[in-house]
Structure formats: C-alpha cells, structure tokens
Structure 1
Amino acid sequence: MKKIILFLFLGAGFLGNSQQMTLKKGVVIDSIAVKDSISENFSLYIPTSFEMDKNWPILFVFDMEGRGRQAIRMFIGAAEKQGYILAASNNVNDALTTSQNILITGRMFNDIIKILPVQKNRIYSAGFDSGARFASVLPIFVKGISGVISCGSVYPNMDILDTNNLFHFIGIVGKEDYAYPEMLAGKSIMGRLKFPNQLLVFNGGHEWPNTQYLGKALEIFNLSAMAKGQSEKDEAYINDTYAQNMEEINLLIESNRLIQADNLLDEVMSVYRVLKDGDSLKRIKRELKKNKLFKTMTRNENNTLLKESFIKEDYVYYLEEDLATYNYNNLGWWIYQMGELKKYDNSKIEAEREMGKRLLGYVNALIEDNIDIVNSGNQVDQEVLSLLWMLKTITDPTDHSYYLKIISNSAKMEDYGTSLFYLEELLKKGYTDKAELYSLENTALLRITPEFNDIVAKYLKDARYETIEE
C-alpha cells in the first residue's frame, strides 16, 4: 500500500527559520528533534485517515527506557481503527527524576501541539508497568491531559489524587498479573473519589495487552467524548461498538469465563450509561448473579485473593528479615515456597491456578525491586546483593544471568566453593555458552582449576583446559 505523505510547513515561531517538514502517514517516524533541546527527540505516528482540516485526539505513550518507537508500535492497530495520533519520547527514563521526565514530556508536548491539529480536551497518556505509573501521574503535573491508560500497574499514589482535577483512568490487567489484586482495589478507591474509571481484564500475566484491549480503551475514550459533547455523536459508531461488546459478553458467558463477563458488563454499563438504554445489560447482570457457577467462581476468587494477601505479607516479612540478618540459611524456606506455588498449577480451581502465577510474579518483582534499591545506594552492600541473586536463582531459575553474577562475585571473593556450586546448577539448567563462561569477569584463576574444567566437561563434553592426572 502506498503511503500518503503529509507536508507540514513550519513557521518562524517553531524552528526560527521557515522550513518544510515531511511526515508520512501510517508509519512510525522516529527521532523528531525537540525544539530548544540539545538531544531530545520523539517518535510519532499519524493515522492514514489523518487530515489537517480537523482536530485529532492524541495519545502519549511512555516507555521508561526511552524506547519510543517500540512503545508506539503497541498501539498502532488501535490508533488506526479508533483515529488517534500517537507520540512517544525517546528520552524519558527511570534513571531520571520524575521532575526531569515531566520537563522532557512538557517540551515534547508543546512542540507537537504547535505542528499538529490536536483536540485540546482529548489528550491522553499511556504506558505499561513503570511507563504506566509515569503516565498516571502526568495529569497532576501537566495541564490538559484528560485520560490515562495504565497497563499492568495500579495508580501509584492515591493520596495525590485531587477531586478538583478529575481525569479518566482506564486500567488493563491480566488475571495472572501480580498487579491484578491492587488494580481491583484501586478501581474501587477511584470510584469512591468520583474519578471516571474502567478496568479491562484479559487472560494473561504481567505483559502488554493485545490490540483488542488497547483498542477498547481508546474506544471508551471516544464514547466518553461523545457523551460529554467533546466530539460529535456518531450513532453508527455507538451502535456498532455496543453490539461488539454485547457479543463479547455473550461469548464470555458461553465459555464460562463468568468473572470476566461480569467485569465487562460493569464497564459497558458505565460507558454507555448516557448513550444507550441499559435494560438488556441489567437483565444479563441479574441472570448472572443467579448463576450457581458464577456464585462459586466469585467465592473462590474472593477466598484466593484473601489468601494471596497473607502469603504476600509473608514474602515481604521474611525477605526483609533475611536481608537484614544476611540469612543465607533461609534459602531452603524459599525453595519450599516455590514448591508450594507449583502445586497451584495442578489445582482444579481456576482462581488458585491464577493466584499461583500472580504470586510467582510478585515475589520476583519484590526481589528485583530490592536489587534496584541496593544498586542505587551510595555504597552497595555486596552481601545483600549476593543473597538477592541467590534468591533469583530460586524464584526464576531459567534466568541464567543471576548464576553468572554469583559465580563472578564469589570468585572475586575467592569463595570458589560457591562459584563451583552455582556453575554446576547453571549447567544443569541447560546453559551452553562456553565462550561466556571462559571470559566471565573475576574468574581468571577459577577457570584454570581442575574442578571448574571437570564440571564444564561433564555437561558440555569438553573443557578449554584439560585436567592432568598425576
């Protein structure tokens, strides 16, 4: 398909000298320089239906490693279908302070609204995980952002919400995501504070949702704008999207995914409240509440959420205790806990299987957060860091990087016994990169020992250095 090229003529007020900028519709345009900055730039996507003679909603997407192009690509299908401009900074980063990231965002924001016909009351922000947390706080600090799409992250701090500065919050989360319980609770709190909000739930873990759910979030923003009179009411669009949602609800009920059906029912009822008659939705809701299987599933979910909260408290308590006392002797307790989580995989109760996945994600995130905290200190506590790496080999044994860190650090401390133990554990997990093993930092003396080479030869057939028997 031939791409349509849009020519934008920028005057002296933007670049200082009148010049022509060429923007292609339907492709991600990378590294557009920000005015009055040395090295800041952003990525941009303009839908193929774009025309200069009308104002367009825009979605700013945030990735806190500055991967703007990648972040935008997640929303392209949804933006094309729903009619949104997409923009993403290539400079925001978790290593920067919130205020620095807000300033970077503000400069990008100001540039874009000067060159594109943006609908001023339809500016939104979005992200996943840390990007979602940053996107969520932007309406507090950047005037004009009227809605947020938060994927895999609850609103970071309910205390800073201002009921005089309401914005629309849409959460999207997988049922196996460790953020699921917090996002359920967050939805309730935001509702009490009168913030318009929805929570879309999909089958999956801590990951970007697919285009269907991202598109549904943009669809909700469109319908909300029509309900508020911010955009022209499109009856065909309202009826089509309503019919699609009804079809999805019925499919969820037919496949016995009743918790998700109930959740979607609630969201559809809130979105179409002033746009459509809701009698049919209310009837389905009443019938669902009478369903015995739904009652059982609801009871199971509530029970597992309560149990999950207690287990998470144990994880936090014992991790704090172990780190404070350098308690390597408690590694066995963590191995036992991972064994207990695996048992949930075979549970006949779906809510328990989902809980097991969430708890595994939670404990890994908890340990990784502590690793980040230790590494960010002025003086790194190497003993604590080593213990955290060992915990990661227990909670995420397929991530080989932590074994390598332990081997290197233990060799540096001349603790060759620990290095050799984790070397063998690593090779048992199927690790095969011999070149990396023999170039690992701090292991020059270790890797010429007979013990090291015997272990390598045992799993990888041959070692670099031969063991000479006397």
Structure 2
Amino acid sequence: MKKKYAILFLATFMLQQGFSQQMVLKKGKILEGLTVQDSIPDTFSLYLPTNFATEKKWPLLLIFDLEGKEKQALSMFIQAAEQEGYVLVAPRVLDSVSLSNSMVKTGKVINKVVSILPINKGRVYTAGASSSARFANLVPIFLKNVKGVISIGSSIANTELLNVKRPFHFIGITNKNDFNFTEILAAKKVLDRFRFPNQLLLHQEQTEWPDIGLLKKSMQLFTLAAMAKGFVAKDTSYIEKAFNEDVIKVNRLKNSQKLLLAERYMSEMMSVYGTHKNLDSLRQIQKSIRKDQRFRAMRRIENAAFFKESLLKEDYQYYIEEDVITHNFNNLGWWNYQKSEIDKFISGSNIYEKEMGNRLLGYVNALAEDNIDIVKSEALIDEDALALLYMLKTILEPQNFGFYLDTISLSAKNEDFGTALFYLEEALKNGFKDTDALYELEGTALFRITPKFNALVEKYLKGARYEIIEE
C-alpha cells in the first residue's frame, strides 16, 4: 500500500533580506538539511509525528550526535515520539566545533523551530548517547529554555556547573555493566541534594542504545512531570496507564528475584507519581522488600563490589598517569595481570562482580583512549608515551587489530624492528588476516622488506610479497 504523507506548508518572511521563504514540511518523515538562516550554513533535521496538527502545542526533543550521524540518532527516537507525541529535531553539531559555538548553534535551532512550529516553550528537552550525551547534558545548563535531558550511557558532564536556581530534569539511561553506571549513581546524589528532578532507567542488553521501551518511558516521564507542574493539562487516564505499566515492571522484577532492581525502580516511581496519586500501597511493598533477607544479602554483596571497584579504579588512574609520564614499559606486565583479574570477574558466578568486571574493563579502556587523545593533541607528540598506550590497548582489546598496527607503525618508524616484529606476530596469532593493510602501513617501508617480516607473513598468511634471501 502506498504510504501517504500529509503535507504542512509553513512560510516565514525574512523582511530584512527582502524576500519570502517557503518551507514544505512532511509529517511522518525525517527532513534533512533544513537551514537555520539562508546566510548561515547551519542545518538541522526534523521529524513531525504523523498526527501533528497546528491546533495544539507540542513538546520538542533535540537529539545530538557529534559524529555527524544526527539522522541515524534521530531515527532511534521516532517510534517513541509517535507514541508519546513529540517533535524531534537533530541540529548538526560536530565534536570539532568549540563548545561555545555549538551552544550558539543549538540556541539558533531552537529559536528557528519555535518560530515556525507550535512548540510548548516550557517543554524543550535534549537527548544524546555517549559523548553526545555529555554535550546534551550541558545544553540545559547554558540555555535556560531547555528543561530536561535524556542522557544515554553518560553522567552529568560537570556537576560543578549546576545552578540550584535553574534546575532541569535529568533522565539517565544505562546498563549496570557500563562503567558510567556508578558515575550516574554518584551524580544522582548531587542532583537529589540540589533538588533536581531525576530518574535512572536501566536496560538489560549491553548495547549503546536501549530498547524503544525505555526511550518511550523517558518521554513519558517528561510528560508526567509537565502535568505535575501545570505545563500541560493533567490526564488521569494517561497517568493511570503509565503507573500500571510501572507496577507490572516492578512485579516482573520481584518475581524474577531481581530485588535490588525492583526496590530501585520503586524509588524512581515515588519521585514520578508522588504529586499525582496516593502511593501508600507502593511504599508498603518497598518496605517489605527492604526487610527481605535476600534483598539485604544482595545489597551487601553489591556494595562490596562497588567498594572494590572504587579502589581498583583509583589504582588504574594512578598507574596509567605514572606510566605515561615515566614511559614505564616494564609495567605492561602489571597491566596484563590486571586484565586477567578483570577477566576472572567477568567469567565468575558472582553477578555483581561480573557487572563490576565489565565496568572496570570499560573504565580502563576509556582511560587509555582519553590519554591517547591527550598525547596526540599536543604540539609535540610524545611518541614513547603513545607507543606505551597503544601497547596497553592491545592487552585490553586483543581483538582490536588497529592498535597492533599503530604499535607496528610507530615502532618501525623509529627502526625498532624487534618491537614491531613482536606485535606483528601477536596480531597474526590473534587472527589478523589483512595482508594489504600490512603492506600499506605507514612508516614501515624498510620494515616490510626485511626477511623476518616476510617470513612471518608467509607463515601465517601465505602471502609474502618479497622473497629476500639472507647471505
């Protein structure tokens, strides 16, 4: 069946330019490359729900992707926006642009959308995942007309910037295996102290993007908060439906013996529904869970894992800084041991230590990558520090062959062929098979014509390009 789109014609007049511009916007379709101003190249993508109408005010969700994939990021929210009734906008903001310029661009996009569409100015929110979430977290701090943020896999970028006189609604979405989980828990304590409305939603899969249900729930939480504040009319049937959905989720968690998650979710429900209905029955259920011996045992084990994790993270941060400064290649053996210990946590039977192990692995990987970025950003690159970090990454991610190639390239460039050979064989042992990439690797022209290089390639890949006979 041929899909039909209703078309909405909107005209804005640029009097100072002496001409009229007409925009043709389609409902139910992502529109890319919409300009903020004709004289400025800034653009944004837009999605209007299929039931969009100009007779009512709509909430606006701005979605960010700093890698230039704003259309893909926006598309993740479409199904939830259709169900919850949100207009979606994805400004083109890139990581290469300064923070101040990015904020100015974001403000201009908001003003543009508000000027051409019936947007509820008290219901403008942001969203993003990973590094883009960190930017999305900053927007309500710098732009006062933004009232909330959906932060996927990232905590508050800088809690010191929070202003108690300008609170915003923070919704964090993460997985307990993500190293950002403990950071978000810490940020929630700060937000609670500053009386910022906030909730933490957990998804089970170890993926960057949560399932559609949690994105829908995030928008639903914004709507419930807007009803509580009077930004939109209170809809009792909407509130009851949302509450019953959450009760079903709590019962499901209880029945599967996930008591910590059930108790934590009920705490979030208290903050959401407290202004809408009597929650005495929910409080009684939460109280009974807290008295349960199984719950108390689970909480002790999880808290022990949190404590152990905090100590290990302090060690990792200290030693990586010391190793980079002192070029301590001898400490790679210690890092190899730490990786084996993390692997034991991950493969163990203790679910809380398993989650801790995954968080620790994510944390130390992020530390190494941050340090790589710092070293590479310096005017004079410290190649020894960079080589050490590349070698560390081969320990942490033995199947990520890019770091083996980086190590080989840097070592061969400095004519350290022994190190280059070692990491070449390690890559080949771990399954690297791209012969073309090896022979095109930057800085390895002399290394590639050595007999030992070609002997290794011939041994593992049967495709050496040079046959050099040693006399």
Q: AA paired with 1:7?
A: F
1:254 is aligned to 255
2:234 is aligned to 233
8 A contact 1:43–1:68 mirrored in 2: yes
Alpha-carbon distance, 1:409 to partner: 1.3
Distance 2:277 2:293 in 1: 29
Distance 1:13 1:219 in 2: 40
Q: AA paired with 1:163?
A: V
Distance 2:15 2:281 in 1: 54
8 A contact 2:66–2:132 mirrored in 1: yes
Alpha-carbon distance, 1:5 to partner: 2.3
Q: 1:185 to 1:15 in 2, by over 3 A?
A: farther
Q: 1:341 to 1:37 in 2, by over 3 A?
A: farther
Distance 1:431 1:346 in 2: 25
Q: What CA deviation, in whole Å up to 9, does each residue of 1:165-189 have, x standing for no partner?
A: 1111111111001011111111111
Deviates more, 1:77-86 or 1:150-159: 150-159
Distance 2:146 2:227 in 1: 17
Deviates more, 1:1-10 or 1:248-257: 1-10
2:221 is aligned to 220
Is 1:67 equivalent to 2:69 in the alignment?
A: yes
2:154 is aligned to 153
Distance 1:351 1:183 in 2: 17
1:423 is aligned to 424
Correspondences of 1:266-281 after superposition (within 5 Å): 266-281=267-282
Is 1:245 equivalent to 2:227 in the alignment?
A: no
Q: 1:451 to 1:37 in 2, by over 3 A?
A: farther
Is 1:117 equivalent to 2:118 in the alignment?
A: yes
1:165 is aligned to 166
8 A contact 1:176–1:206 mirrored in 2: no
Deviates more, 1:333-342 or 1:48-57: 48-57
Q: Structure 1 residue aligned with 2:24, among 22, 25, 40?
A: 22
2:398 is aligned to 397
8 A contact 1:454–1:467 mirrored in 2: no
Q: AA paired with 1:428?
A: K
Count residues in correspondence: 469
Alpha-carbon distance, 1:27 to partner: 1.7
Q: AA paired with 1:380?
A: I
Alpha-carbon distance, 1:9 to partner: 2.2
2:367 is aligned to 366
Q: What CA deviation, in whole Å up to 9, does each residue of 1:117-165 have, x standing for no partner?
A: 1100000011112211111121221121011111111112222211111
Q: 1:272 to 1:14 in 2, by over 3 A?
A: farther
Distance 2:250 2:303 in 1: 22
Q: Structure 1 residue aligned with 2:42, among 29, 40, 43?
A: 40
Distance 2:362 2:163 in 1: 31
Q: What CA deviation, in whole Å up to 9, does each residue of 1:359-396 have, x standing for no partner?
A: 00000000111111111112111111111111100111
Distance 1:194 1:469 in 2: 75
8 A contact 2:177–2:355 mirrored in 1: yes
Secondary structure of the 1:87 match is: strand
Distance 1:14 1:395 in 2: 58
Q: List alignment gaps of at least 5 residues for structure 1.
A: none
Secondary structure of the 2:79 match is: helix
Secondary structure of the 1:9 match is: strand
Distance 1:177 1:96 in 2: 27
Secondary structure of the 1:464 match is: coil
8 A contact 1:66–1:89 mirrored in 2: no
Secondary structure of the 1:120 match is: strand
8 A contact 2:154–2:184 mirrored in 1: yes
Alpha-carbon distance, 1:434 to partner: 1.0
2:4 is aligned to 2
1:196 is aligned to 197
Alpha-carbon distance, 1:101 to partner: 1.0
1:345 is aligned to 346
Secondary structure of the 1:18 match is: strand
Q: AA paired with 2:70?
A: G
Q: What CA deviation, in whole Å up to 9, does each residue of 1:175-234 have, x standing for no partner?
A: 001011111111111101111111112224472222111111110000111111111111
8 A contact 1:175–1:204 mirrored in 2: no
Distance 1:23 1:51 in 2: 12
Secondary structure of the 2:209 match is: coil
Is 1:412 equivalent to 2:413 in the alignment?
A: yes
Distance 1:376 1:391 in 2: 19
Deviates more, 1:4-13 or 1:150-159: 4-13
Distance 1:180 1:89 in 2: 27
Distance 2:141 2:255 in 1: 42
Q: AA paired with 1:389?
A: Y
What is the root-mean-square deviation of aligned Cα atoms in Å? Answer: 1.6
Q: 1:70 to 1:16 in 2, by over 3 A?
A: farther
Distance 1:384 1:51 in 2: 58
Q: AA paired with 2:410?
A: N
Alpha-carbon distance, 1:3 to partner: 2.6
Identity %: 50
Q: AA paired with 1:213?
A: L
Q: 1:382 to 1:137 in 2, by over 3 A?
A: same
1:336 is aligned to 337
Q: AA paired with 2:32?
A: D
Q: What CA deviation, in whole Å up to 9, does each residue of 1:310-341 have, x standing for no partner?
A: 00000011111111110001100000000000
2:285 is aligned to 284
Q: 1:355 to 1:16 in 2, by over 3 A?
A: farther
Distance 1:389 1:206 in 2: 25
Alpha-carbon distance, 1:37 to partner: 4.7
Distance 1:332 1:36 in 2: 58
Distance 1:367 1:469 in 2: 40
Q: AA paired with 2:295?
A: F
8 A contact 1:177–1:206 mirrored in 2: no
